[in-house]
Structure 1
Amino acid sequence: MSDDSSAIEYADRAQDVLGFSRWWQIVAAAGMMAAVSPYQYVWSSIEGPLAERLDIALPALGAVFSFYVVFQSLSQFPAGWWRDRRGPGVLTFLAALLAGGGYIGLAYATELWQLYVLYSLGSIGVGIIYTIAVNTAVKWFPDRTGLTTGIGTMAFAGGSALVVPYVRANATVAAYADVLRNVGIAILAILLVGSVLLRDPPDDWLGIDEDTDTDSLAASVRGRAYTTREMLKTWQFWLLYAMFIAAAGADLIVIANIVRFAEHVGFAAIIATIAATLLPLAAGVSRMILGEVSDRFPRKRVMAVSFVLAGIFRFALIGAGQISADFVFVLMVLLAMFFSSPLYVYFPSLMADYYGSENSSSNYAVLYTAKVGGGVFAGTAAGYLVATLGWIPTFAIGGGLAVAAGLAALVLRPPAGSGLEADAAVAAD
């Protein structure tokens, strides 16, 4: 992490550009992330009423979550490319229409294909907001990347904590349409406000020239600004890509299936509700806490320890379920999510350190497509594994993926010309 004098300089320069504190950009980004979070974190609570109302088998709805992950992930590269060149305004307005309209449309859906289309369109809006919000932190806070991306992604996880109890209490066959419509209207309104507030810093906002002491600059601005094509030629990117698939798969299988897993091992509905409600809180808080830790200590080491612990606690929650220890089960769910969910902080921060902040939106968006692999595992593949192997082995595979991602982090080395390459050489000496 940069020293205090460096941090104050970044803040002063941002104040000169914006006319107000750069932290308001993070507030706006976090608010929008919270608004679109129901697409990921509320799905497990609404799929039951939807299936019953439309007379659709639950396995058929499993593909909806897979579609969400695919479209939310793949939409980020074109959105990131546009944002790096044209700014966030128009994109955020489009995302408001897609994400808000998608949830409102669910209230009126009568066929399975309509669910697929509406959730997929809404997911594109979520993807746009996600890449804009995360990279707003990267662009305005090169000195506090871990903390600020942590705040944004914390809002994405924790924002739904207010929505889950509301949905669980009211998403009956008779009332679910009103619930979906109300959530959609809230999403639309918040994103429209965000589209007015967000902006990007100008290219020369830091005033870097040949006389600037680059050693005092954050890694994301002192190193080489990799283009996406150049980034794809480095082995580090492909290792990060594989790690992202494994870590996201482990993360999403718990998010998408925790209610059904709790019911499978025999816990009462209240235990499933508590786990589903507290899960996004644990995921959200961890992103801010461990994001700050990753600013203060070597990021890849924090990542390695975090993912290994995430895997261990997944094995522990399986054990708690088998012995019907309800309190321990909820605690293990929270710890498992606490250590796995910061993947959405570690990866964008490390990408900025390795490949620079100039093209951060498009570069991280390419890496984020790895979430498709994790989503397919959590949705379609997990459904197949549950049918053939059962819930316990399926969740155990998720634990193994988390541990593998943590061990792989130890192999990472900064690419040539990155802002961390000199630091790594000093550490090696």
Structure 2
Amino acid sequence: MKRGYLVIALLVMSMNSLYQYSWNVFEPMIASGLHTTAVYVEVAFTLFTVFSTTFQGVGGYFADRDGPARVGVISALLSAFGFIGGSFSGSIYEFYAVWSIGSIGEGILYGIATNLAVKWYSDMRGLAVGIVSLGFGVGSSVANVFLVHAPNFRLPMMVIGLIELVLMPLMLYFAKYPKANLSGGRPRRNLTSPAFWILYISFVFGSIPLLVISSSFGYIGSHLPPYEFSILVSLFPLLSGISRPILGWMSDRIGRSAAVMLIDAFIIVGSAFLSLRQYVLAIVLIGFFGGSMISLYFAYVGDVFGTRFSTANNGVFYTGKSISGFIGSTIFALMFSYDVTLSYIFVLISAIAGLIFLIASRGAVRKSRSMQ
């Protein structure tokens, strides 16, 4: 049954991915359909990151305490509501409201799916989390092939919402966490650990390039030929997905810290290509290495702080994505509209800061482990 939970988590992640990695396709359609600007639509992406990350820790607490099934079913219904409600939105403000509600469900489901791997596969945690996270790229990669040909956002969102409404509550009903061989401190203990917060800051800065591409490539690449844009917008989530089990397996072999450092280094290179406006190389590097970043940070937190409360621990840690999302969507969009070159340099500086804080965290992590 252990493998069955991995399959459930993979399928849930595949549906979850549409909130983030199909956003570049939905964004121009939403702006056109609701008669608004890209900056206003970017606020919806910021709200997604805020609500999905904020409530992941709350849902994670109940999932760790009572098991993932009940909170998972409720979250699946909320996620489906986000798409169905979005398809009926008459204004950008209505869209903000329903998308935020759906994002709560998406965030909690992300935590549950990831931690089905973290808790059940202690011996191969990097690979297992990578396999689950594979869905977060592949799901959108498949969907985007069809979404780019949609005349508007309403019908695709309705179809996605109905599929989620039928399938996801059924799958989550059967999800369970192991009851034995789990250890680790509660989130409130981790909040007093310098290692936790240094890793958190590293995660915030290191995630910005990925979230910039996830939220803003719709207008970054607006001057590209349509066929090239269509290829890249599907290639990005595909690379993000296939890298996760590969780099997860590698992290089981060379160590989680070394693997995350390698990822951060390649994201810096990708951000440098973005600043040079070499979009294909930037998409390939940021997509491939950035996609596995979140899953490996989650596995790393499980290694350092234990798995007993890993859903809640990673939920608190994941709030860093709301900060990255705000910076990488709304703030970046404003900077981009003011000075394109400056906005790209900012992305590169953020990537460098992510690696610097990760290096600084290694001593704190060793100290934290010695105290456990």
Q: Does 1:255 align with 2:214?
A: yes
Q: Does 1:397 align with 2:343?
A: no
Larger radius of gyration: 1
TM-score (norm 2): 0.95
TM-score (norm 1): 0.83
Q: How far apart are 1:298 and its partner, in Å?
A: 2.0
* CA deviations over 1:101-154 (Å, ceiling 9, x no partner): 110111111112110011101100101100101111111011111111111112
SS of residue matched to 1:56: coil
In 2, the alpha carbon distance for the partners of 1:331 and 1:352 equals: 32
**Corresponding position of 1:77:** 57
Is contact 1:139-1:200 (8 Å) kept?
A: yes
In 1, the alpha carbon distance for the partners of 2:342 and 2:359 equals: 27
**Corresponding position of 1:180:** 157
Is contact 2:212-2:328 (8 Å) kept?
A: yes
**Corresponding position of 2:246:** 289
In 2, the alpha carbon distance for the partners of 1:46 and 1:52 equals: 10
In 2, the alpha carbon distance for the partners of 1:254 and 1:396 equals: 14
SS of residue matched to 1:267: coil
**Corresponding position of 2:87:** 107
Segments of 4+ moved more than 4 angstroms: none
The one of 381, 403, 407 equivalent to 2:356 is 407
In 2, the alpha carbon distance for the partners of 1:377 and 1:356 equals: 30
**Corresponding position of 1:385:** 335
Q: How far apart are 1:275 and its partner, in Å?
A: 0.8
Q: What does residue range 187-202 of structure 1 map to in structure 2 within 5 Å?
A: 187-202=164-179
Q: How far apart are 1:245 and its partner, in Å?
A: 0.7
Is contact 1:259-1:273 (8 Å) kept?
A: no
SS of residue matched to 1:63: helix
Q: How far apart are 1:79 and its partner, in Å?
A: 0.4
Is contact 2:236-2:287 (8 Å) kept?
A: yes
In 2, the alpha carbon distance for the partners of 1:53 and 1:346 equals: 37
**Corresponding position of 2:308:** 358
* CA deviations over 1:26-78 (Å, ceiling 9, x no partner): 11001011012111111121122222222122221110000000001001111
SS of residue matched to 1:169: coil
The one of 152, 159, 176 equivalent to 2:132 is 152
**Corresponding position of 2:100:** 120
In 1, the alpha carbon distance for the partners of 2:272 and 2:217 equals: 14
In 2, the alpha carbon distance for the partners of 1:345 and 1:179 equals: 28
Q: Does 1:137 align with 2:117?
A: yes
Is contact 1:95-1:191 (8 Å) kept?
A: no
Q: How far apart are 1:417 and its partner, in Å?
A: 6.2
* CA deviations over 1:359-393 (Å, ceiling 9, x no partner): 11111111110111100011111122112222x32
**Corresponding position of 1:376:** 326
SS of residue matched to 2:149: helix
Query: Which 5+ residue runs of structure 1 have no aligned equivalent?
Result: 1-19, 207-220, 322-328, 423-429
| Alpha-carbon spacing, 1:186–1:259, altered in 2? closer, same or farther (3 Å) | same
Where is the helix percentage greater, Structure 1 or Structure 2?
2
* CA deviations over 1:262-314 (Å, ceiling 9, x no partner): 22xx3212111111101001011111111111111121111112111111122
Q: Does 1:88 align with 2:68?
A: yes
**Corresponding position of 1:37:** 17
Q: What does residue range 315-334 of structure 1 map to in structure 2 within 5 Å?
A: 315-321=272-278, 329-334=279-284
**Corresponding position of 2:191:** 232
Residue type of the alignment partner of 1:330: V
In 2, the alpha carbon distance for the partners of 1:94 and 1:275 equals: 34
Is contact 1:282-1:334 (8 Å) kept?
A: yes
Residue type of the alignment partner of 1:306: I
* CA deviations over 1:144-191 (Å, ceiling 9, x no partner): 111111111121122111111211111x24xx3221111111222231
Identity over aligned pairs, percent = 25
**Corresponding position of 1:349:** 299
Q: What does residue range 205-244 of structure 1 map to in structure 2 within 5 Å?
A: 206=181, 225-244=184-203
Q: How far apart are 1:416 and its partner, in Å?
A: 4.7
CA RMSD of aligned residues (A): 1.7
